[in-house]
Copies of this chain bind each other. A is one copy, B any other.
Amino acid sequence: MSRTRVHNFSISLDGFATGEGCSLDAPFGHAGDRLHHWMFAAPFGRELLSESAGSPSPASHAYAGGVGVDDAFARRYVVGVGTEIMGAGKFGPPGWHEDRDWRGWWGPNPPFHTPVFVLTHHPRPALEMEGGTTFYFVDASPTEALELARVAAGDLDVRIGGGATMLRDFLSAGLIDHMHVVQVPVLLGRGVRFWDGLEDLQNSYHVEMVSSPSGVTHLTFNRA
Contact = CB atoms under 8 A, between A and B. Distances in A.
Given A211-B211, A215-B209, A189 B200 contact: yes
A187 interface: yes
Interface residues of A, number: 27
A198 interface: yes
Contacts of A216: 209
A127 B185 CA distance: 40
Interface string A8-30: 00000111000000000000000
Q: How many copies does the complex hold?
A: 2
A188 interface: yes
A101 interface: no
Nearest to A195: B14
Interface string A162-186: 0000000000000000000001011
A202 B183 contact: no
Contacts of A190: 199
B208 A187 contact: no
A207 B190 CA distance: 20
B185 A207 contact: yes
Contacts of A13: 195, 202, 219
A207 B13 CA distance: 11
Contacts of A202: 13, 185-187
B195 A183 contact: no
A190 B185 CA distance: 22
Nearest to A198: B187
Contacts of A217: 209, 211, 217
A15 B195 contact: yes
Nearest to A212: B209
Contacts of A189: 196-200
Given A14-B196, A185-B202, A209-B216, 4 more contacts: A13-B202, A207-B215, A210-B211, A211-B211
